Amino acid sequence: MVILAVILPGWVTFPAVASGDLPAPNGYVVLFHPDDGLFVGDQVSFQILAPHGVNLDKKTFRVSFDQPNKITSLGSADFFLDGFGDQYQAILPWAWDTIRLAPGRYTFSFQINPAGLTWKQTITLAAPLPNQPHWVTTTSDCCTYYYISGTAVERDIAQIKSLADAQAKDVASRFNSTFKASIPLELMSRVLGHGGFTSDEIYVSYLDRNYASDQVQMVLHHEMVHLLDGQLGGDLRPTLLVEGLAVYLTGGHFKPEPLLPRAAALPGLGLYLPLPALADDFYVAQHEVGYLEGGALIAYMVNTWGWQGFSDFYRDIKPIANKPQSASIDAALRTHFNLSFSQLEEQFLNYLAQIPINPDLSSDVRLTVDYYEAMRRYQQVLDPSAYFRQAWLPDAKTMRQKNITADLVRHPDTADNQTIELLLINARQEMVAGNFDQAEQGIRVVNAVLSAIQKNSPNYMAVTPLSQEMAAVVQMLDQCGMEPQDVQLGQQTGQATVIITWPNLENTNLVKTSQGWQTQPACQPVPTPTKTNLFAAWQEWQYVAP
């Protein structure tokens, strides 16, 4: 994914235009960063998300820190419209320095001006974490790597370098060009969005329990295509073609896949999106379908006109004042191929209609959409900072200068998060293995749990036998001091990949007994309290009427 933004010191900003009425403050959400609780020593950022459709143009968010006999302003920030055009937010990056504070409860006052809306929020600041990590920098033939000590990245950096060098070499050869300089590569130890972003640097998630994608080489290649494509330039590179080109040159989106045969399944599944509408609102459209159609369209155009013909057209697309991107694509098609955009789409659909539908591919396409919809729903419910429309992605250069690491390491990691992420990973593994019924069941289980959480059901993990069983295994492993990264359960036996001493992976056998699942040999519980359910439980709200 390309970040449609300009990175300023500390954050990503977008232009702001929208319409709507200002509702009561209880429709707003304030997120504290970093995630997974706050600890003495954290540099804390504030992010406020407005309800969708609310117009906060020319309005300001102010944060104050309530101290005994004193109120200290932490600053203010203007609201801006997110890059997808449907939600206002405001951000105060690293506004509260907790390094000299004592653990305890702290209260903040929030204001939206000039609306005059005011409310308070109290949080708990925990004792400082031991063994604070630090930034590490290293290089290879292709890249300059920035990562954080004590993580899976540091453990696997030699392997990552080899992968990245191979991907960069392949990307350069496909463009018959070279990168202008060493590729700056931020390796994040948490999932953000779908696991990859590109601005002037490349951000890629790398961790063991990666529910977004286990094909890091695909993500690296995709984002490297974006970087070199941007360096090669063009007056207007429409989003549909930018993302489609990255999918096409990578040979798939989240995994290697035959693009045209997969796209041929879309009309029969009722998933096909008309190309002009997709071109004009790409990131708002269904994510997996948009990327698949974009990649398949590039494949069709290259098959029809050759790489050079496509490249000449692509680099020659020009913006048209007050017209959407589809109009610019149409004009360039007419110039280069004497063809309108609608005629191209008609020919593209006719080509797809001649491809025999592979039932397994069709099932995989449908379940891929379902899987990532469930994944994004999980992020919205239990890890909102990871959700791609509001992903918490502060400027890494500034983070390195300030030695801030927590924002790209810590993430909601309760037993609930671990359980759902493991259920997602297992569903994806079933899909990759072609076990579509089991994959579909796994996706349904995830959605059932999330629905129960949203309904405030008291025992939400018990809504299905599979989720209840996985939750029990996670709880057992956590009580044994083992953080699960992968869990495979059979009828009576299973296996788990766990971390006991971070970040070293260990395998342990599981056996089902009359008391439930146990490690074999049985572990001794450690005196570490289990994390509280639902990551935001440490926040308390108090609304003050304006």
**Across the chain, what does the average pLDDT equal?**
90
Predicted TM-score (pTM) of the model is 0.90
Edge to edge, what strands does the sheet with 183-188 contain?
135-139, 143-148, 183-188, 202-205, 196-198
Largest Cα–Cα distance of the chain, in whole Å?
Answer: 76
Q: What is the pLDDT of residue 195?
A: 94
Residue 307 lies in a domain: yes
Residue 193's domain is classified under what CATH number? Answer: 1.10.390.10
Residues 239 and 333 in one domain: yes
Q: What is the DSSP letter of 536?
A: G
Residue 262 lies in a domain: yes
Query: Is 237 or 502 the better-scoring residue by pLDDT?
Result: 237
Cβ atoms of residues 385 and 411 within 8 Å: yes
Could you say which of 336, 352, 368 is where a domain stops?
352
Residues 336 and 300 in one domain: yes
DSSP-based helix, strand, coil % in the chain, nearest 5: 40, 25, 35
Residues 164 and 115 in one domain: no
Residue 360 lies in a domain: no
Residues 313 and 177 in one domain: yes
- In 3D space, the residue among 10, 33, 28 whose CA is nearest the CA of residue 123 turns out to be 33
Q: What residue has token string 């025999």?
A: 356
What are 336-376's pLDDT values in tens digits? 999 999 999 999 999 999 999 999 999 999 999 999 999 99
The confidence band for 2, taking pLDDT boundaries of 50, 70 and 90, is low
Cβ atoms of residues 525 and 479 within 8 Å: yes
Could you say which of 352, 383, 403 is where a domain stops?
352
Number of domains forming the structure of the chain:
2
Residues 56 and 195 in one domain: no
Residues 118 and 139 in one domain: no
Q: What is the pLDDT of residue 6?
A: 29
Residues 145 and 189 in one domain: yes
Q: Which residues contact 221 (CB under 8 A, 6 or more apart)?
A: 167, 170, 171, 249, 250
CA distance 144 to 136: 11
- In 3D space, the residue among 209, 203, 91 whose CA is nearest the CA of residue 146 turns out to be 203
CA distance 296 to 20: 38
Phi, psi of 466 (to 5 degrees): -65, -45
What range does the domain containing 46 cover?
6-131+536-544
Q: What is the pLDDT of residue 387?
A: 93
CA distance 62 to 209: 37
Residues 58 and 162 in one domain: no
Residue 227 lies in a domain: yes
| Residue 37 Cα to chain centre, angstroms | 20
CB-count burial class (<10 Å; 0-12, 13-18, 19+) for 474: buried
Residues 59 and 153 in one domain: no
What are 439-453's pLDDT values in tens digits? 999 999 999 999 999
Residue 101 lies in a domain: yes
- Kindly give the residue spans of alpha helices, DSSP state H, lying in 316-340: 325-337
Residue 460 lies in a domain: no
Residues 254 and 299 in one domain: yes
Residues 59 and 207 in one domain: no
- Angstrom CA distances, 432 to 396, 435, 436, stand at 34, 8, 9
Residues 225 and 179 in one domain: yes
Helix (H, G, I), strand (E, B) or coil at 203: strand
Residue 11 lies in a domain: yes
Q: Percentage of residues in the chain with pLDDT exceeding 70?
A: 91
Residue 371 lies in a domain: no
Q: For 293-319, what is the mean pLDDT?
A: 97
Cβ atoms of residues 483 and 418 within 8 Å: yes
What are 516-526's pLDDT values in tens digits? 999 999 998 88
Q: What is the pLDDT of residue 382?
A: 96
* Angle in degrees, 0-180, between the axes of helices 359-382 and 287-315, rounded to the nearest 10: 100
Could you say which of 297, 328, 352 is where a domain stops?
352
Residue 37's domain is classified under what CATH number? Answer: 2.60.40
